[in-house]
Amino acid sequence: MNYFSPLVNIVYCSSIMVLRRVVVDSSHPESQSQDPNNNDTMPPSTSHQPHPPATTTPTPQILPVPNPVPSYWLSQPSPHANLRSTPHLPETCTIAIIGSGMAGILTLYYILATSSAANKPLPHIVLLDARSLCSGATARNGGHAKIKTDTLTSLDGDVRRDFAAYVSSVMAALKELVDSEEGLAGECEFELRRSFDVFLDSKEAGGVKGVWDGCVRDQEVWTGERSFVGGGGSREEEGEGREGGTAEKVTSVNGAVAAWSSPCASFWPYKLVTGLLHRLVKRYDVDVLNVQMNTPVLHISSAADIPAGATRLHTSRGDILADKVVFATNAWTAGLLKEFEGTIVPVKGMASHHVPARVVYPHLNNTYNIHFPPVSSTADTLPPLEKQHQRHGTDYLNPRPDGSIVVGGGSYKFVDDPSSWHGNFNDAERFRKDVEEHWEGYMPETFKGWEGSGSRVDSVWVGIMGRTGNGMMHVGRVPGEEDEKRDRKEDGGKKKRQQWMLAGFNGGGMALIAVAAKAVAKMVLEDADFEQVRDEFGLLEGFGTGVERLKGEAKEN
């Protein structure tokens, strides 16, 4: 949402955390059936949320729940929302993909596109989702892909460079994708835009500006596509008059003291995913692509009576024996892969849709991450009533072509109630009414020109992000001790586990998934591991999943 994490911002605002803070905003959560958060749409930045005390109370299996809260992005449902290509499940398949959000659909797309381009026999693929098509995080995030400036300035030099380059490659991949499928760009309202990272607190802005200035002096490549707006000092130092200072004038955000302008991709994530599947269903017959919605995978197994490497999927409607499996299950991953318990943790975020009574011209044409002042900076300076309505944390905004606005964040309103968000995968239940009050009067109070707009909150929803211990997604072959032994030549060269994954997007899925999906598609087709494709796709070393990483992260999350 970013709905999700505001670190990087993608769709939800899809943001993400790395080094506990490296992420992409937007959005993100992918899952067996993606729900609110991306790219980006969940709590503005889960990296700022405290970890609740450990508990020994048994928890229910992490699976998507029925009847999730509807989101704005789901207001125009796809005709394939509840598609079942055949009335009964096939007994076997070459590849099973679990999850029909962006991670699942893009992996499916690249597997088929790669096979077709190479004139190789097409695999028989079954696409499964516990609920309706793309009903999880992809349909609940912020709808933009970017990486926030303060995320980059929080990283070390090499990681900063590589992460910026990776997110740029994701935006390029998304552009290439929508351009290659006739009509898709228009359907999903895809735009390459600019995005503002806006700061309302001079101390916070100054900290980012100090690192930024050093990066500019060192001529770091990523600074070439960004620009600084404002002085980064107090509003008085900014030369504020009745009209506000430079940052306020340029961004139209009341009280802005500094901002950074950066590239981003903005789109309707649900329509991108469902539009792509619509084309694939028309392009391939059921012997190649069999779609089975509303078919939760309850557990998986492998046994001596099935071929080496194969996996049996036990669903609510029967079993499927798959030669290979892709887990595009994000926050719900631990529900099927127990080794990820405590490593990919579900966290709930919140987003909203705002509609003016009269259209405000000119439309806002940038997306935003707005960094409101920290609680400590206003604790003693505001009268009680004003303090009560003071916003904190980081929100993300994605203006729509019709003049309405998608906004996600508000995590400061629920962060002190851990049970309401941490480990919570119930996207059928909204936050308390007092939490949703964060959105009341939001646009007129935050943006210049909206004072007389009659803006109202059209809808509020929640989404589930998958948070990892170090803020990096998990990409690659599903780890297992048996594969570690084979790599060390201790197990006779038996066939490796035929399971791959891309999950744990920390709210930044929209800015992370596209290139990772390409990489996973190649791994599946060539029976390859993460390290064998990493350089080709520019994947960060920290993205790779593995046994040792699991051991470390379970203690961090």
**Nearest CA-CA partner of 475 in 535, 544, 546:** 544
162 and 43 in contact (C-beta within 8 Å)?
Answer: no
Which has more pLDDT, 346 or 376?
A: 346
What's the token pair of residue 409?
């964040």
The pLDDT value recorded for residue 36 is 33
Strand ranges, E, within 372-498? 394-399, 405-408, 456-468, 474-477
Question: What is the H or E stretch that residue 357 is in?
Answer: none
Separation of alpha carbons 330 and 328, rounded Å: 6
d(CA 179, CA 226): 25
Using CB atoms within 10 Å of the CB of residue 86, give its burial: 0 to 12 exposed, 13 to 18 middle, 19+ buried: exposed
Amino acid at the residue 325: V
Q: What percent of the chain has pLDDT over 70?
A: 81
Query: From CA 292, how far away is CA 157, in angstroms rounded?
Result: 45
Asked if residue 509 lies in contact with residue 28, where contact means CB atoms within 8 angstroms, the answer is yes
Residue 443 is predicted with a pLDDT of 97
Higher-confidence position of 198 and 244: 198
Mean pLDDT of 117-143: 97
Nearest-CA neighbor of 101 among 499, 465, 525?
Answer: 465
Task: Look at residue 553 in the predicted model and tell me its pLDDT.
Answer: 79
Using alpha carbons, select from 469, 182, 447 the residue that is nearest to residue 344.
Answer: 469
CA angle, 63 as apex, 59 and 65 as ends, to 5°? 105
Least confident piece of the model among 106-120, 170-184, 476-490, 505-519: 476-490
- Please check the confidence at residue 386 and state whether its pLDDT lies above 60: no
Query: Given this model, what pLDDT does residue 150 score?
Result: 96
> Would you place residue 48 in the very low, low, confident or very high pLDDT band (cuts 50, 70, 90)?
very low
Element (H, E) at 164: helix 157-180
Return the higher-pLDDT residue of 161 and 380. 161
Tokens 């928890």 sit at which residue? Answer: 59
What confidence score (pLDDT) does residue 17 get? 32
In CATH, 1-193+268-348+408-434+463-557 is 3.50.50.60: yes
Above 50 in pLDDT, residue 527? yes
Q: What's the mean per-residue pLDDT of the chain?
A: 86
Range 351-365 average pLDDT = 94
Residue 189 gets which letter from DSSP? Answer: T
Least reliable range by pLDDT among 72-81, 420-429, 543-552? 543-552
- Alpha-carbon distance 28 to 509, whole Å? 4
Q: Quick one: average pLDDT of 214-235?
A: 87
Does an H or E element contain 483, and which?
Answer: helix 481-487
| Mean pLDDT lowest among 19-33, 139-153, 289-303 | 19-33
Q: Where are the domains of the chain?
A: 1-193+268-348+408-434+463-557
Q: Are 474 and 437 contacting, i.e. CB atoms less than 8 angstroms apart?
A: no
Q: How confident is the model at residue 506 (pLDDT cuts 50, 70, 90)?
A: very high
pLDDT for the residue 484:
57
The continuous run of DSSP H or E covering 101 comes out as: none
465-499: pLDDT as tens digits: 999 999 999 999 999 866 555 554 555 556 789 99
Look at residue 127 in the predicted model and tell me its pLDDT: 99
Give the residue from 356, 302, 279, 353 showing the smallest Cα distance to 498: 302
Q: Is the pLDDT of residue 130 over 90?
A: yes
How much is the pLDDT for 28?
34
- pLDDT above 90 for 52: no
User: What was the pLDDT predicted at 6?
Assistant: 37
Q: What local confidence, expressed as pLDDT, does residue 400 receive?
A: 97
